[in-house]
Amino acid sequence: MLLFRPAAYAAALCTFAFMHGPACAQQKEFEGTKIVVNGFGGNLDDVLVDSVSKVLKDRYGITVEIVPGSVASAYAKLMTSRSNPAFDVLITDDITLRSATKAGLIDEVSVADVPNMAQLYPNFMPLGGYGLPFFASVTALTYNKEHVKTPPQALSDLANPELKGRVGIFNLESVGGVVSLISLAEANGGSIRNLDPGFAKLKEIAPNLATATSSPVELYNLLQRGEIWASSFWSGRVNALIDQGVPLGIVVPKEGLRGNLDFVSLVKSTKARGAALKFMDQITSAQTSLAIARSVYFGPTNKTVTLPPDIEKRVLPYGAEMIAAMPPVDWDEVAGKRGSWIERWNREMR
């Protein structure tokens, strides 16, 4: 977006590049360009900085600025600054991607623009070039091995009286909560259009609930401290906790492994289109996919990634068969109906 005192910049880059080999007498392709992306904060941002920002800086001279904040606030920012967008690349989740597309905030890209697009799993791209997935995460059952005598095998097992007051789950403000509800409904004779069985199961679990929250960090903290002993939580986070020594077990629930994706999209009327496309290409590359899987145990979306044996079993979802077997989620339906589902939840849980 802004040009950044090119001369001084070029000098600094040349020194850096000189130390790493190739001659740098020529200018980098996008020398001095800056792009802005919305970020997550924390470890995931660190991975993006290492695998994407640094590479773009070295190779093309692009500066990437990651702005912390929620996906919803990023959406709101774009809605109010269309002619002079606050971001060049937008990172979204399943639901916001659809809202952003409908609102005309993002542009479609093709394989010609982003070569790595050809390497992505096709059934991870429901909106085609409007949003390219760069990681997948699933909610799995987790339980504390020290305290729970009968490990839950299904989401509905969270209603087990042994777990009274020790269960923490996502509420419907989180996509994690939404997919759990859908799974519960479908496993008990319902569907995404008939959620009654799902809500009925939730009511059974309700007496065991310590909390139902939208904050992943709160569940993380509660699991870490042993305040809650069972949850349906992002498998990547559970793996991180296991690495820290928390005695957790992961179970693929009987209701199936559903998940969600995070996408990267090109913002319409961005002034740094070329640089933005390079960002999208790098973030969907096998290299970044692998780095994300290593660091936060989220599933790679790039078909060509082979995970090393030490983490292969721990990363979910992984592998063509597992991914093909994941029950689909009609996110359009979710986007349209979630408001009323949240209201129903509020009514039933109060």
* Residue numbers at the binding site for other proteins (CB under 8 A): 36, 39-45, 65-70, 72-73, 75-77, 79-81, 84, 86, 96, 99, 102-104, 165, 171, 173, 206, 209-218, 220-222, 224-227, 244, 296, 338-339, 342-343, 346-347, 349-350
Nearer to other proteins, 219 or 257 (CB): 219
User: What's the rounded Cα separation, in Å, for the pair 298 and 313?
Assistant: 12
Q: Are strands 167-170 and 230-234 parallel, antiparallel or unpaired?
A: parallel
Q: How far is the CB of 269 from other proteins (least distance, A)?
A: 13
Nearer to other proteins, 110 or 346 (CB): 346
Nearer to other proteins, 75 or 121 (CB): 75
For 345, the token pair is 């939840």
Q: How far is the CB of 208 from other proteins (least distance, A)?
A: 11
User: What's the rounded Cα separation, in Å, for the pair 338 and 95?
Assistant: 10
Nearer to other proteins, 98 or 278 (CB): 98
User: What's the rounded Cα separation, in Å, for the pair 326 and 322?
Assistant: 6
Q: How far is the CB of 304 from other proteins (least distance, A)?
A: 26
SS3 12: helix
Q: How far is the CB of 238 from other proteins (least distance, A)?
A: 14
For 15, the token pair is 């020194």
Q: How far is the CB of 49 from other proteins (least distance, A)?
A: 11
Return the axis-axis angle of helices 94-102 and 331-349, rounded to nearest 10°: 120
* Helix (H), strand (E) at residue 106: strand 106-107
Nearer to other proteins, 61 or 121 (CB): 61
Q: How many CA atoms lie within 13 A of 77 on its CB side?
A: 20
Q: How far is the CB of 175 from other proteins (least distance, A)?
A: 10
Nearer to other proteins, 60 or 341 (CB): 341
How many other CB atoms sit within 10 Å of the CB of residue 348? 12
Q: How many CA atoms lie within 13 A of 57 on its CB side?
A: 17
Angle at 246 between CA 240 and CA 250, to 5 degrees: 65
Amino acid at 56: L
What's 120's DSSP letter? B
Instruction: For tokens 């740098």, name the residue.
Output: 24
Q: How far is the CB of 296 from other proteins (least distance, A)?
A: 8
Nearer to other proteins, 38 or 156 (CB): 38
